[in-house]
Structures are given as structure tokens and as C-alpha cells.
Amino acid sequence: MDHFRYRQSAPAGIKALGVVIAAACLAFIVVAAAAADGDWAILVPILGLLAGTGLGVGIALSNLYVSLRHGQLTFGISPLWQRTLDLEDITAVERIDQVSPAAFGGIGYRRVPGKKTGLLWNGGPGVVIRTSADESITIVLNNADALADDLNRSVTG
């Protein structure tokens, strides 16, 4: 049974960055292929540029998501990164009124010293999840109240 689901698209600036990366890589592929003149050694950098193109597309299509179901909390930035926590590993859940991206050095998936992780596209209300491994995970989302309530209900039984 699904208890909670949330998905938020990347901000326009992140999407634009992904498009620029993909377009630049594709342009370099075209230039490299045209300049190769039958030299197969050019395939190695072209493969690297193809990987860059894939990364750019992944960034352009990325979205932040959170899912609480089957005794697990899964969160990440799809399609680039994901993490799953078993609910029994969560020791505390706290709703925060305002989280600033500056506290994590920016937006996206962020790790800062002190076993702190942030998952955020912008500032705003969030949920701080503390784990049995003494880690603090902050997720910023519009309906932080619903996630905090569902997590607290699920963690405390």
C-alpha cells in the first residue's frame, strides 16, 4: 500500500543546463566525426561524448521524488541517484518551516560535513530525518507536513 508519493521536476535552470551539456556534446561528436576522415581512433572520445550527452539528457529530465511504501522510504533525483531507507533505521522525523539551499551549498543532492545530506530544488518547508547511523537527511518539498505526518505514523507504529 502506498502511503506517500511526491515528485517535483527540476527547476528551469537545471533543465537548461542539461540541454546545453547534451547539445554541446552532440556538436563535438559531429565535429569529431567530420574531422576523423576514416580514423577509427576517434571512436574513443566520441564514446565519452556520448556518455556526456546521456548525462545532459538525464539532468534535463531529472526530478526529485519521495516514496513511502512497504516499510521503506525511497528518495532521490531520478534518473541520476536514489536511496532507500528501511523505516526501522529512522530514529526521528522533524518538520522544518524553512530550509535554505545555502545550508547545503546549493540545490540538488548535497552532502555536507557532519553526516548531513540535503535533497532540494529550492528553499522552503522540509523534513529532517535522523537515522540510526547518526545521519541527518533533509528533504525540501511543498507538502512537508504530509511526509512528516506519514513518516511519524509509520515509524512509531
> What is the pTM (predicted TM-score) of this model?
0.86
From residue 4, give the alpha-carbon distance in Å to each of 16, 25, 130, 157: 29, 38, 18, 16
Measured torsion, CA atoms of residues 23, 27, 28, 33, in degrees rounded to the nearest 10:
140
In angstroms, the CA 146 to CA 106 distance is: 25
What integer pLDDT is reported at residue 3 of this predicted model? 81
> For 64-156, CATH number?
2.30.29.30
Mean pLDDT by 10 residues, the chain (157 residues): 84 97 96 85 90 96 95 94 96 96 95 96 97 97 94 85
Q: Where are the domains of the chain?
A: 10-60, 64-156
Nearest to 47 by CA among 33, 60, 61: 33
Residue appearing with cell numbers 525511497: 74
Per-residue confidence (pLDDT) for residue 157, from 0 to 100: 65
- Burial, 157: exposed, middle or buried (Cβ in 10 Å; 0-12, 13-18, 19+)? exposed
Q: What is the per-residue pLDDT for 1?
A: 44
